[in-house]
Amino acid sequence: MLGLRDTMHAFTFLLDNTLYALRLETVERVVPAADLTPLPGAPAVVLGLLDFEGRIVPVVDIRARFRLPVREMGVEDFIIIAKTSRKTLGILGEVINVAEADIDRGTGVLLGSEYIEGVLRLDEGLVLIHDLESFLSLEEEKSIAGAMAEMGGKR
């Protein structure tokens, strides 16, 4: 029987029939999909800004990071408010629970992928666990901050 310390809670998202996951401890809240405010000058991975409880949160498009075709956000979607050590981001996805022991961190498939922390095997297929800390480069974070500062000055 698995204890809580032996379990990893994950949030998953589907990209062109491949499941990806984030560690749930990076997640602050799950909110319904909402209209986003465009952020001119932001990196291409930014879908827009979300007003979340009085905080302005950039919502990122993981599909853009992996250079996959654009998918419009629908009313059935929701946004995960997640934190890295440097930034709070919004991401689209769903929540699952998995055993920590079931995560393969040594597979050769991961070589060269700075965004993937490990691989999980589920009945539905393989899930690539995404490392949110490496999602945005420092340059992209600076670009988002600059675009948000410029947008704030125009209000």
- Reported residue count of the chain is 155
Secondary structure element (H or E) that encloses residue 153, with its range: helix 138-153
Locus of tokens 């060269």: 112
What CATH number did the domain enclosing 110 receive?
2.40.50.180
Closest residue by Cα to residue 79 from 94, 67, 69, 97: 94
Q: Which pLDDT score is estimated for 57?
A: 94
Count up the domains in the chain and report the number: 1
Q: Which pLDDT score is estimated for 40?
A: 93
Q: Which pLDDT score is estimated for 12?
A: 75
Along the chain (155 residues), what's the average pLDDT of each consecutive run of 10 residues? 63 71 84 90 90 92 76 78 88 68 65 70 75 82 90 65
What's the Cα-to-Cα distance from 40 to each of 60, 80, 83, 150, rounded to whole Å?
14, 22, 23, 9
Q: Half-sphere exposure (CA, 13 Å, Cβ side) for 86?
A: 13
Q: Which pLDDT score is estimated for 154?
A: 60
Range of the domain at 22: 4-153
Secondary structure element (H or E) that encloses residue 141, with its range: helix 138-153
